[in-house]
C-alpha cells in the first residue's frame, strides 16, 4: 500500500491517522509544532498505538507508524503528503518539506482554502521540485478531538467533496484513489479556481462571526452561555451569508466569461452546497437559515471563546474562523474580484469588520492595498496583479 505522510496534529490529522491506517496505508505523521509529536506519541502509546475515530455508526481504529517533528524522518519515500492543517500553516509546512519530496509525489491540502495553488506551486518551484498538487474544497468531516493522541469524534461526514489538481487532468485519478481512504465521494473539478471561489468556509466562518458579534464585540459569557455558532445563525446572519454567496456567483460568472474551459457551475451557491453536503443531517431544508440551525452535524458547536475572567469568557477573534478564513479566503476572493472588476460590497463589509478584530489592514477604502496583503494568499501577493496575468494563469491551470 502507498506510504502517506500526514502533516499536522489537530482534529483532521487525528481522523486521517485512524482512517488511512485502517485502510492499510503506511501512515507517518509530521508535526513541527513544539511538543506536539511527543504529545501525540504519548497519547498513542496509552492505547497500544491505535488512533480511534468515533462515528455515529461505530469506531474506526488505525495505527500510524511513525510520528516525527523532523521532516527528514518521514517525508522521503512518501507517495502522498496530506496537509491536514489550517491554511496559515500551509506555508511553513511546505517550506519545511519541499526539498525532501519524491519526484512525482502527490501533495494536497484538505481543505485547500483560497490560493493554495499560488503558494504551493511557488514554494515547489523555488525548491526545484515537481509534484502533483491538489486540494479539497472542504474538510470531509466535522470533527473534534476527544482525547489528544487517542480519539476523535466525527460529528458528520459530507456526502461529496470537490477535488482540484495541478496538472488539472490528474484530478479524476487522484479523486478515485483518495475517495476510499476518506470515505466520501470526491468530485474532480476543472481548476483550482473552483476551489478558491467555492470555498464555503470563507463565507460561513467570517460571515457568522460578523453576524453574531457585530455591535457586541466585547460581550462576555459564562461557560454555559457561550453562543452556539451554527445554531446561533439568525435571520440577519443568514441574509449576510446569502449576500456574500450572491457576490461569489457574480464573480464566478465574470471570470468565466474570459475562461472558456472554466466550468462556472462548479461554484455552487452556499445554500445548494449546504443541502448537497449534508443531505442526511439537515432536518429543515426550507431556507438557508433553517438549513444552518437544523443541521445535526453542526449541533452544539460554539463560537470560539477565551477566558476573560475567573468565570467568564469572551469571543476569541484570533481563532481560525477569522485568522484563517479572512487572509486565506475572503481576501483572496477580493483580490480576484478587484482584478476582474466585480463588485463585492457585502464581502467588503465583513473584511473591514474582521480586519479590525485581527489588527490587520487589507482593504483600505475601496482597494486591496493595505500593508498586510503581502501576508495573504491574494493573487497580488504572488505578483498576479493584472487581469491579463490572472487569466493567463487560469488558462494554463484549467482542464480542457
Ligand atoms: P486544528 O485547529 O485542529 O489544527 C491545528 C493543528 O495545525 C495543530 O495541532 C498543528 O499540528 C497544526 N498547526 C497549527 N499552526 C501551525 C504552524 N504554524 N505550523 C505548523 N503546524 C501548525 O484544525 P482542524 O480542525 O484539524 O482543521 C484543519 C482544516 O480543516 C482547517 O482548515 C479547518 O478550517 C478545516 N475544517 C475543519 C473542520 C472541523 O470540523 N475540524 C470542519 C471544516 C473545515
C-alpha span between 374 and 17 (Å, rounded): 34
Query: Contact, 144 vs 153, CB < 8 A?
Result: yes
User: Interior CA angle at 54 toward 48 and 58, to 5°?
Assistant: 105
Cβ of 92 closer than 6 Å to ligand 1, yes or no, is yes
Give the Å distance between the CA of 195 and the centre of ligand 1. Answer: 18
User: How much is the pLDDT for 371?
Assistant: 97
Residue 269, classed as helix, strand or coil, is coil
What tens digit of pLDDT does each residue of 316-332 get? 999 999 999 999 999 99
CB 67 within 8 A of CB 36: no
Q: In which residue are the cell numbers 501576508 written?
A: 375
Tens of pLDDT, residues 143-182: 999 999 999 999 889 889 999 999 999 999 999 999 999 9
Please report where in the chains the cell 519526484 appears, as a residue: 103
What pLDDT score was predicted for residue 398? 82
Averaged pLDDT for residues 379-391:
96
Average of per-residue pLDDT across 64-72? 98
> Ligand 1 within 6 A of 111 CB?
yes
At 92 the pLDDT is 97
Instruction: Could you list the beta-strand ranges (E) of the chain.
Output: 3-7, 26-30, 51-55, 58-62, 66-68, 80-83, 106-109, 132-136, 141-147, 151-157, 160-166, 185-188, 220-221, 305-307, 313-315
Q: What is the mean pLDDT of residues 81-105?
A: 97
- Ligand 1 pocket test: which of 6, 7, 11, 321 has the largest number of ligand atoms within 8 Å of its C-beta? 11
Where is average pLDDT lowest: 29-33, 346-350, 396-400?
A: 396-400
Cell of 335: 483580490
Which residue's CA is minimally distant from atom 43 of ligand 1? 139
% the chain with pLDDT above 70: 100
pLDDT, tens digit, 9 for 90 and up, residues 265-307: 999 999 999 999 899 999 999 999 999 999 998 999 999 999 9
Tell me what pLDDT residue 397 has: 84
| pLDDT tens-digit map of 211-239 | 999 999 999 999 999 999 999 999 999 99
Which DSSP string corresponds to 325-369? TIIIIIHHHHHHHHHHT---HHHHHHHHHHHHHHT----BTTBS-
Q: Using the mean position of ligand 1's atoms as its centre, give its distance from the Cα of residue 78 in Å.
A: 21
Active-site residue 205, yes or no?
yes
Q: Is the pLDDT of residue 93 over 90?
A: yes
Quick check: 114 and 336 in contact, CB under 8 A?
A: no
Q: Which one of the listed residues 14, 90, 205, 289 is annotated catalytic?
A: 205
pLDDT at 20 over 80: yes
The predicted model gives 120-136 an average pLDDT of 96
Pairing of strands 313-315, 305-307: antiparallel
> Which pLDDT belongs to residue 306?
97
d(CA 310, CA 168) in angstroms, rounded, equals 53
Checking if the pLDDT of 399 tops 80, the result is no
pLDDT digits (tens, 9 = 90+) for 336-378: 999 999 999 999 999 999 999 999 999 998 899 999 999 999 9
User: For a pocket test of ligand 1, which of 6, 15, 53, 85 has the largest count of ligand atoms closer than 8 A to its C-beta?
Assistant: 85
Q: What is the pLDDT of residue 208?
A: 98
Residues 6+ apart with CB under 8 A from 390: 336, 339, 340, 379, 384
Mean pLDDT of 10-28: 97
Q: Note the pLDDT of residue 400.
A: 72
Average pLDDT over residues 72-91: 97
Distance 283 CA to ligand 1 centre (A): 28
pLDDT digits (tens, 9 = 90+) for 190-217: 999 999 999 999 999 999 999 999 999 9
The Å distance, Cα 321 to ligand 1 centre, comes to 11
Report the helix count and the strand count for the chain, using DSSP H and E: 15, 15
Amino acid at each position: 500500500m502507498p506510504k502517506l505522510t500526514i502533516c499536522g496534529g489537530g482534529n483532521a490529522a487525528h481522523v486521517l491517522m485512524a482512517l488511512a491506517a485502517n485502510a492499510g496505508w503506511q501512515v507517518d505523521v509530521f508535526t513541527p509544532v513544539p511538543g506536539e509529536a511527543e504529545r501525540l506519541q504519548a497519547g498513542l502509546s496509552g492505547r497500544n498505538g491505535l488512533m480511534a475515530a468515533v462515528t455515529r455508526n461505530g469506531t474506526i481504529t488505525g495505527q500510524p507508524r511513525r510520528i516525527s517533528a523532523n521532516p527528514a524522518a518521514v517525508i522521503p519515500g512518501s507517495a502522498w503528503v496530506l496537509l491536514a492543517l489550517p491554511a496559515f500553516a500551509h506555508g511553513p509546512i511546505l517550506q519545511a518539506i519541499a526539498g525532501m519530496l519524491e519526484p512525482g509525489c502527490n501533495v494536497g491540502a484538505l481543505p485547500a482554502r483560497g490560493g493554495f495553488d499560488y503558494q504551493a506551486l511557488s514554494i515547489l518551484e523555488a525548491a526545484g521540485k515537481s509534484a502533483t498538487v491538489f486540494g479539497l474544497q472542504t474538510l470531509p468531516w466535522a470533527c473534534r478531538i476527544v482525547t489528544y493522541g487517542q480519539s476523535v469524534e466525527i460529528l458528520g461526514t459530507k456526502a461529496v467533496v470537490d477535488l482540484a489538481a495541478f496538472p488539472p487532468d490528474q484530478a479524476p485519478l487522484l479523486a478515485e484513489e483518495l475517495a476510499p481512504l476518506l470515505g466520501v465521494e470526491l468530485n474532480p473539478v476543472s481548476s483550482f479556481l473552483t476551489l478558491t471561489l467555492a470555498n464555503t468556509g470563507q463565507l460561513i466562518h467570517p460571515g457568522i462571526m460578523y453576524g453574531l458579534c457585530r455591535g457586541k464585540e466585547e460581550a462576555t459569557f459564562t461557560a454555559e452561555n457561550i453562543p452556539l455558532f451554527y445554531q446561533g445563525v439568525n435571520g440577519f446572519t443568514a441574509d449576510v451569508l446569502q449576500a456574500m454567496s450572491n457576490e461569489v456567483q457574480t464573480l464566478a460568472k465574470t471570470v468565466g466569461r474570459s475562461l472558456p474551459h472554466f466550468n462556472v457551475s462548479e461554484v455552487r451557491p452556499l445554500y445548494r452546497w449546504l443541502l448537497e453536503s449534508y443531505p442526511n443531517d439537515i432536518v429543515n431544508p426550507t431556507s438557508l437559515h433553517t438549513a444552518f440551525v437544523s443541521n445535526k452535524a453542526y449541533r452544539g458547536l460554539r463560537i470560539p471563546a477565551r477566558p476573560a475572567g475567573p468565570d467568564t469568557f469572551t469571543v476569541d477573534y484570533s481563532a481560525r474562523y477569522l485568522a484563517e478564513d479572512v487572509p486565506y479566503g475572503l481576501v483572496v476572493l477580493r483580490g480576484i474580484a478587484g482584478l476582474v472588476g466585480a463588485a463585492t460590497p457585502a464581502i467588503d463589509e465583513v473584511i473591514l469588520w474582521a480586519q479590525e478584530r485581527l489588527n490587520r489592514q487589507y482593504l483600505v477604502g475601496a482597494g486591496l492595498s493595505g500593508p498586510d496583503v503581502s501576508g495573504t494568499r491574494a493573487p497580488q501577493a504572488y505578483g498576479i496583479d493584472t487581469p491579463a496575468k490572472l487569466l493567463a494563469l487560469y488558462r494554463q491551470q484549467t482542464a480542457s
